[in-house]
């Protein structure tokens, strides 16, 4: 069976990493999988990129211009929404023609337009679409937040400047999507049960097949290793406990950096001895900004693309903290747990599906800096830390390993094609 996975980028962003890992998992389990991207970052021969030209750049820019115009020429949420008004027709590519299944992933920012999607749907090939966020189920947003209008029909979009209007950009795109999905059978796959619940509420996806299959991870690479050796490789101190916090862009408001800062101040106030016994490892763009904001020593690292280096970073710390305010099924939690690192995060999105409270980590009350601080302290000082570590690793192996996830997708592909792989 031949499967074509489609994503805007090969390696940049959580969806890209998840898609790349799924391709490897499928290949390692007997499926002939290829990945089609706009932006290719490696020399991987099973990853095919669109021909680079000024047109691809212009398509990306043109979409932003239309959003800028709709936003009354304000930069407000310029990259938080997508309208899929530009893209590339891929249906004539040999990779598309040869595929038995078309598996869409994150296809925004000029990769595929709604018109391109219609041609893909009209091709008659079985379509699977993994939702890495809410965009396929809403008008224009990737995360609806407190808005529930997508459950009936998007309008007065809170992510447009001034709150939009009855027939604003979100409403126009919502109506186009509704027409696009009508008369087409698509299998939507969500990475978390939380997102599955959100998708089932969407008026756009009424009558469509919606299932939940988590992302995959290579547990032969991401696994527990010597903490001492990992710290030596990362040039981190051996004599203190270390907390890890990381994101592509640490200052992204959705990642909740402010709650980490507040919880660390609370920790230092309640347990002043930790000021000399605890350090924060921060990886991601703009991580140096944390140095003067925390009461603990900060060890800033740039965003890391190399997975072997990532494994060293995870294995060098004692816990991973994610104060994220909106998230689906974070790769970072999966990576940390695979390395036997207990995690602490808010009760939001798919996070409580990954962290089993007081079993392999700590799930804090949403937006509670105090409970986040409690979770950090409890995890660091729990006498059963080794058990937390072991259970974190075991959770990933049994739920997210390549073999487990490849089997679930193989079964799905067989179902949508009516054949055996």
Mind giving me the DSSP string for 181-245?
HTT--EEEEESSHHHHHHHHH-GGGTTSEEEE----B-TTTSS---HHHHHHHHT--SSSEEEEE
pLDDT tens, 40-78? Answer: 999 999 999 998 888 888 888 999 999 998 888 888 888
Whether 2-216+402-417 and 227-399 share one fold: the answer is yes
Q: Flag whether pLDDT at 421 surpasses 60.
A: no
pLDDT at 65: 93
CA 92 to chain centre: 30
Buried b (16+ CB within 10 A) or exposed e, 333-356: bbbbbbbbbbbbbbebbbbbbbbe
162-202 per-position pLDDT tens digit: 999 999 999 999 999 999 999 899 999 999 999 999 999 99
Helix (H, G, I), strand (E, B) or coil at 34: strand
Residues of the chain above pLDDT 90, percent: 85
187 within 8 A of 241, measured Cβ to Cβ = no
Checking if the pLDDT of 303 tops 80, the result is no
Res 334: pLDDT: 97
Digit-coded pLDDT (tens) for 373-394: 999 999 999 999 999 999 999 9
Task: Name the nearest CA neighbour of 245 among 157, 115, 376.
Answer: 376
Question: Residue 344's pLDDT is what?
Answer: 98
pLDDT band at 286 (very low <50, low <70, confident <90, very high): confident
Residue 135 and residue 194 in contact, taking contact as beta carbons nearer than 8 Å: no
Residues facing residue 182 across a β-bridge: none
| 217 close to 412: Cβ distance less than 8 angstroms | no
How many CB atoms are closer than 10 A to CB 13?
Answer: 18
Q: Are 113 and 85 in contact (CB under 8 A)?
A: yes
Lowest mean pLDDT among 27-36, 189-198, 279-288, 315-324: 279-288
Phi, psi dihedral angles at 301 (to 5 degrees): -130, 145
- The answer to whether residues 52 and 246 touch, using CB atoms and an 8 Å cutoff, is no
Query: In a 3-state reduction of DSSP, which class is residue 369?
Result: helix
pLDDT band (50, 70, 90) for residue 123: very high
> What local confidence, expressed as pLDDT, does residue 135 receive?
98
What is the spatial order of strands in the sheet that 278-285 belongs to?
A: 297-301, 278-285, 241-249, 319-322, 343-346, 361-364
The mean pLDDT of the chain is 95
Q: Is the pLDDT of residue 420 over 70?
A: no
Strand ordering across the sheet containing 47-49: 47-49, 32-37, 2-6, 101-104, 127-131, 186-190, 209-212
- 254 against 399, higher pLDDT: 399
CATH superfamily of this structure's domain 227-399: Glycogen Phosphorylase B; (3.40.50.2000)
pLDDT at 290: 85
Q: How far apart are the first and last CA of the chain?
A: 5
Question: Which residue reads 């696009």 in tokens?
Answer: 180
**What mean pLDDT do residues 322-331 have?**
92
C-alpha to C-alpha distance for 112 and 67, rounded to whole angstroms: 16
Q: Which sequence spans correspond to the domains of the chain?
A: 2-216+402-417, 227-399
Task: Please give the pLDDT value at position 110.
Answer: 93
In degrees rounded to 5, what are phi and psi of residue 52?
-75, 130
Residue 406 backbone class (left: φ over 0; alpha: ψ -120 to 50; beta: rest): alpha
Asked if the model's pLDDT at residue 315 lies above 70, the reply is yes
3-state secondary structure 237-271: CCCCEEEEEEEEECCCHHHCHHHHHHHHHHHHHHC
- Are 140 and 81 in contact by the 8 Å Cβ rule? The answer is yes
> Which CATH architecture describes the domain 2-216+402-417?
3-Layer(aba) Sandwich (3.40)
When pLDDT is averaged across residues 134-159 and rounded to a whole number, the result is 96
Question: Residues 205, 206, 207, 210: is their CA dihedral positive or negative?
Answer: positive
Sign of CA dihedral 308, 313, 319, 323: negative
């Amino acid at each position: 069976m031949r499967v074509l996975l489609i994503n805007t980028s090969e390696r940049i962003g959580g969806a890209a990493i998840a898609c790349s890992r799924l391709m490897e998992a499928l290949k390692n389990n007997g499926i002939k999988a290829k990945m089609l991207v706009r932006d290719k970052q490696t020399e991987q021969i099973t990853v095919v990129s669109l021909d680079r030209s000024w047109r691809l750049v212009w398509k990306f820019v043109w979409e932003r211009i239309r959003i800028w115009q709709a936003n009354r020429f304000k930069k407000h949420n310029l990259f938080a929404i997508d309208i899929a008004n530009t893209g590339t027709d891929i249906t004539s590519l040999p990779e598309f023609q040869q595929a038995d299944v078309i598996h869409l992933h994150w296809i925004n920012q000029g990769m595929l337009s709604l018109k391109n999607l219609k041609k893909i749907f009209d091709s008659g090939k079985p379509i699977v679409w993994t939702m890495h966020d809410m965009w396929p189920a809403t008008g224009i947003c990737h995360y609806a937040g407190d808005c529930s209008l997508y459950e009936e029909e998007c309008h007065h979009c809170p992510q447009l400047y001034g709150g939009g209007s009855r027939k604003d950009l979100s409403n126009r795109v919502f109506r186009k999507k509704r027409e696009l999905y009508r008369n087409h059978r698509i299998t939507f796959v969500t990475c978390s049960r939380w997102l599955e619940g959100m998708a089932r509420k969407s008026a756009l996806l009424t009558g469509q097949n919606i299932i939940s299959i988590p992302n995959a991870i290579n547990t032969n690479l991401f696994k527990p290793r010597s903490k001492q050796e990992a710290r030596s490789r990362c040039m981190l101190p051996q004599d203190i406990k270390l907390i890890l916090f990381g994101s592509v862009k640490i200052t992204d408001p959705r990642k909740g950096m402010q709650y980490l800062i507040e919880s660390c101040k609370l920790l230092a106030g309640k347990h002043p001895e930790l000021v000399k016994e605890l350090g924060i490892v921060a990886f991601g763009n703009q991580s140096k900004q944390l140095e003067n904001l925390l009461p603990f020593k900060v060890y800033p690292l740039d965003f890391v693309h190399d997975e072997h280096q990532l494994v060293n970073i995870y294995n060098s710390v004692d816990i991973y903290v994610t104060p994220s305010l909106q998230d689906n099924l974070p790769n970072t939690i999966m990576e940390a747990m695979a390395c036997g690192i207990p995690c602490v995060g808010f009760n939001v999105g798919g996070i409580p599906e990954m962290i089993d409270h007081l079993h392999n980590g700590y799930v804090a009350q949403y937006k509670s800096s105090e409970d986040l601080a409690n979770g950090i302290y409890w995890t660091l000082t729990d006498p059963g830390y080794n058990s937390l570590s072991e259970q974190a690793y075991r959770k990933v192996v049994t739920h997210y390993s390549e073999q487990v996830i490849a089997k679930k997708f193989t079964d799905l592909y067989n179902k949508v094609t009516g054949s055996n792989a």
